[in-house]
Amino acid sequence: QIVHLADYRPTDFVLERVDLTFELDPTNTKIEARLIFHRREGVDASLPLVLDGDELKLSGLLFDQKEMSASQYDATPESLTIRDLPAESPFELTITTYINPEANTQLMGLYRTNGVYCTQCEAEGFRRITYFPDRPDVLAPYTITIIGDKAANPVMLSNGNFLGGAGYDEGRSFAAWFDPHPKPAYLFALVAGDLGVIEDTFETMSGREVALKIYVEHGKEPRAAYAMDALKRSMKWDEEHFGREYDLNIFQIVAVSDFNMGAMENKGLNVFNDKYVLADPETATDQDYANIERIIAHEYFHNWTGNRITCRDWFQLCLKEGLTVYRDQEFSSDMRSRPVKRIADVRHLKSDQFPEDGGPLAHPPRPDSYREINNFYTMTIYEKGAEITGMIATILGRDNFRKGMDLYFERHDGQAVTVEDYVKCFEDASGRDLSQFFRWYVQAGTPLVSASGAYDAAAGTFTLSLEQTTPATPGQPNKEPLHIPLSFALILDNGSIAEPTSVTGGEITGDVLHLTERSQSFTFSGVSSRPVVSLNRSFSAPVNLVFEQSLEDLVHIARHDSDLFSRWQALTDLAMPNLAQAARDARDGKDVTCDPAFVAALLECAGDASLEPAFRAQALNLPSEADIARALGGNNDPDAIHAGRKAVHEAIAKAGEEVFVRLYNEMKVEGAYSPKAGDAGKRSLRGVALSYLMYAENSPQRAAEAFAAADNMTDLAQSLTLLAHRFPDASEATAALASFLTRFDGNPLVIDKWFSIQATIPGVDALERVKALMENPRFNPGNPNRVRSLVGTFAFGNPTGFNRVDGKGYDFLADQILAIDPKNPQLAARILTSMRSWRSLEPVRAEQARLALSKIAKAAGLSTDVSDIVGRMLKD
Ligand code: ARG
Ligand code: ZN
């Protein structure tokens, strides 16, 4: 049941061509698969062909169009084994299966959502459609014929180029598609139904015209305009920055309302969770727009990093995901503010990937075994995977990185490859040895880098001593030292950057210091005065840095670093000890005090008009409760962390009331709404200012006014959140929640915000509130977006409400997991990961969490998805 990387071997049979015919029926769809195979050279002629299945029933099997005798094959729901196949010559199998899309609640394979047929085949969904060698290293061109009821399915789509379509028989029509680019089955897609469409075109760099189509529910066409714009910008950007041109004459996107993940990069036919397509100012926040831009780009970029070059096996998942996240991050950085994007990405990495890497679910970016591949679509594969590619770019420098990417595209186009193949391209293109660097892929855990500096005035030298360790993770007690690229600057008193005459102790390239030993000291000569070290600038390496810097030094960085990321990092480093101490004080019932130097530095930044508003908003957004918990390291009391953080906010609000009033007035955006980064930044700074003002004024008044005055969803959702979270019992909050509901009733994506805002109201009452909302007729337990916005948001995003000391939050989650699991195991497993940090809770809560997890573990009939997660979480 456990799959091991070491067991990899190629298939015995080579798949040459795939020809599929679907006869659509909501409950009984017929699939005829014609597959041409030949035995791989050198494979023993007695070996059978074994195809994968999942809940399938074989209804017909032909060999070169002739019946096979029953003794020649065995069919089970999980596999089809065929014997007596030719030693050399190609042969054709025709396999017939019937499936029930309507009953497919797992949302894997072919299913129906709101009357639309759609597929999700990654990772192993294709085997729920027909018997097939369902693995990413089996690539073939596909011809697809879709036959369906004419009236119900005016739109019938698949991968590749459209061949043609017409009437088929009484009441039915057909459409045929051909995808010439060999691809694995996980990239197959089919969509059919009655959908609206917006159309556009894109002229590629070589002058070919590509038809662009985005399909949405009728009436929602105008809300797809931003996605279309983002698509065209993505296509252009990939040409300019990676030399990648689109390769079919049509590119299609379909938005569906039931989807387990964000979106899927099926060749030429991306399928999206509608949440990441639909937007207009009235219903989407700035964050929604940014997410749409990012995910449209991500799936489009997969066309080269994932589709043209795919993964040899699922252990290599980060080959396509990490690289594609890196690419979408670069794209967003170019579209928006690079430092602000970096800050947001690092916040996300630290709040979600670091806890994963430091807990029971830790795994290397390239794992060496798995029980359930669906559980490996993780923050580590995606985000740490992206950081690894980012580090390669840092180590190689811009030009060599580009050369390596070019070589990768040239060398491996059309192949299914490994992470080793990928890294080799960078080695070959640059001449640099990346063998030590490769450990990042196979070693789990967040490295800890400790740093200290010593200045010798007489000699004019500065010595930076560094030490690296990586904590043990499940299955990996001992860790080797990594090659850690640390971008740095030695900042002098006047804010300029020192230019040492020479360095000893290790390699430095440009502003990057290469830490390769367990401990290593770099000595810089020709340093005229004591410098302040800005280390790991732009977060060049995903590590925990411990650097005992004085308050003055941190303030100096916060003021002077030319790297905005590091200025933000310095402010965070100033904030964290205050937040940690505040949590301890709150726990011990002491008064919370705040370091005035920290408050002054933060307010100075807030009021600095030379800094972009989005940056200032990031600085004022203090580390989250989860971040503080991580910094505290263990024995955590979420109530104390919450109370301490609130007290710190109040202290800052009081000291900075004037600044916040000014910002609140100055940052008002005039004129028509635009989702562009500049305006969005002003709205976010204004929102933070409002939040502080509410601490200073201790009244719902101002937020109620903001809610009434809001003319876009960003302002509306922001003010509603503040009202509901700070003054849940005030009539202003109740009224605003009610008016929001009335106004957006019938728009499920907006009602999801209404669910989430209420699910995250802090405090012990949250659980009862969530339970009541689940009874609301607008809640649909079968729709993943609804479940995530209510149950998921509660478990992931409400530390005080979820971590009730009586354990009722965990108990509720256990019941929910057990209720969701039989219908949608992927969704259940994903939400369950919200408990991954249970061991760092104080003992009473930790014991309650353990009991809830044990209850899940003991339940009968668990899916592999949930059983894998709960098993790993409970393992000591
Ligand atoms: N490849 C998709 C993306 O990142 C995600 C698909 C996830 N599918 C799954 N079964 N977990 O763009
Ligand atoms: Zn992806």
pLDDT at 611: 98
Query: b or e along 66-94 (b: 16 or more beta carbons within 10 Å of the residue's beta carbon)?
Result: eebeeeebebeeeebebeebeeeeebebb
Residues 868-875 have a mean pLDDT of 98
State percent of the chain over pLDDT 70: 100
Is residue 52 pLDDT above 90, yes or no? yes
**Atom 1 of ligand 1, residue of closest alpha carbon:** 264
Each residue's pLDDT tens digit, 499-522: 999 999 999 999 999 999 999 999
At 333 the pLDDT is 98
**Ligand 1 atom index nearest CA of 263:** 12
35 φ/ψ angles, rounded to the nearest 5 degrees: -120, 130
Going from the Cα of 434 to the center of ligand 2, the distance in angstroms, rounded, reads 25
Tokens of 127: 């085997």
Q: Report residue 234 as tokens.
A: 């993505």
Q: Is the CB of 261 within 6 Å of ligand 1?
A: yes
Residues in a beta bridge with 233? none
Q: What was the pLDDT predicted at 792?
A: 98
Give the atom of ligand 1 at the shortest distance from the alpha carbon of 125: 10
Does ligand 1 have an atom closer than 6 angstroms to the CB of 121? no
Structure-block tokens of residue 158: 């698949």
Query: Distance between CA 157 and CA 252 in Å, rounded?
Result: 9
Residue labelled with tokens 């009722």: 808
Using the mean position of ligand 1's atoms as its centre, give its distance from the Cα of residue 376 in Å. 10
Pocket test for ligand 1, best of 120, 264, 374 (most atoms within 8 A of CB): 264
**831: nearest Cα among 805, 801, 869, 776:** 869
Q: Is 123 in the pocket of ligand 1 (CB under 6 A)?
A: yes
* Pairing label, strands 461-469, 519-525: antiparallel
Mean pLDDT, residues 444-462 taken together: 98
CB 356 within 8 A of CB 626: no
Query: Is the pLDDT confidence value at 131 over 90?
Result: yes
Cα 271 to middle of ligand 2, angstroms: 12
Q: In terms of Cα–Cα distance, which of 654, 658, 676 is closest to 666?
A: 658
Question: Which residues are the active-site residues?
Answer: 299
Q: Is ligand 1 within 6 A of the CB of residue 277?
A: no
Query: Which of the four pLDDT bands, split at 50, 70 and 90, describes residue 876?
Result: confident
**pLDDT, average across residues 138-147:** 98
With a 6 A CB cut-off, is 295 part of the ligand 1 pocket? no
Residue 377 CA to ligand 1 centre (angstroms): 7
Place of tokens 């479940």: 787
**Looking at this protein, which amino acid is placed at residue 873?**
M
Query: Taking the CB of residue 737, how many other CB atoms lie within 10 A of it?
Result: 17
Is 696 strand, coil or helix? Answer: helix
Question: What is the CA(313)–ligand 1 centre distance, in A?
Answer: 15
Q: Give mean pLDDT, residues 850-872.
A: 98
Other C-beta atoms within 10 Å of 742: how many? Answer: 8
Q: Can you tell me the mean pLDDT for 34-54?
A: 98
Q: Enter the DSSP assignment of 792.
A: I
Provide the 3-class DSSP secondary structure of residue 356: helix
Is the minimum distance from the CB of 732 to ligand 1 under 6 angstroms? no
Q: How far apart are CA 784 and CA 767, in angstroms?
A: 20
Q: Indicate whether residue 723 lines ligand 1 (CB < 6 A).
A: no
Look-up of token digits 């969490």: 849
Q: Which pLDDT does position 685 carry in this prediction?
A: 98
Grouping H, G, I as helix, E, B as strand and the rest as coil, residue 546 is strand
Of the chain, the percentage scoring pLDDT greater than 90 comes to: 100
| Secondary structure of 451-492 as H, E, C letters | EEEEEECCCCEEEEEEEEECCCECCECCCCCCCEEEEEEEEC
> Is the C-alpha dihedral spanning 263, 266, 267, 268 positive or negative?
negative
Nearest bound ligand to the CA of residue 377: 1
Residue 385 confidence (pLDDT): 99
Residue 865 CB less than 6 A away from ligand 1: no
Nearest CA to ligand 1 atom 8: 122
Q: Looking at ligand 1, which atom is closest to the CA of residue 377? A: 11
Listed in sequence order, the residues at least 6 apart from 823 whose beta carbon sits closer than 8 Å to its beta carbon are 105, 106, 782
Task: Name the residue of 256, 261, 788 whose CB sits within 8 Å of the most ligand 1 atoms, as the mutation to test its pocket.
Answer: 261
Contact (CB, 8 A) for 276 and 287:
no
Residue 591 pLDDT more than 90?
yes
Tokens of 525: 């000569």
Residue 51 pLDDT exceeds 90: yes
CA 416-420-421 angle, to 5 degrees, is 50
DSSP 490-538: EE-TTSPBP--SEEESS-EETTEEEE-SSEEEEEEE---SPPEEEESGG
Q: How far is the CA of 320 from the centre of ligand 2 (A)?
A: 7
Q: Identify the pLDDT of residue 776.
A: 98
Nearest-CA residue for ligand 1 atom 12 is 264
Tell me the pLDDT tens digit for each residue of 520-572.
999 999 999 999 999 999 999 999 999 999 999 999 999 999 999 999 999 99
* Residues 457 and 526 sit within 8 Å (Cβ to Cβ): no
> CB neighbours of 560 closer than 8 A, spacing ≥ 6?
491, 495
Residue nearest to atom 5 of ligand 1 (CA): 264
Indicate the burial class of 510 (C-beta count within 10 angstroms; 0-12, 13-18, 19 or more).
Answer: exposed
Q: CB of 374 closer than 6 A to ligand 1?
A: yes
Q: How far is the CA of 295 from the centre of ligand 2 (A)?
A: 8
User: Which ligand 1 atom is nearest residue 321's CA?
Assistant: 4
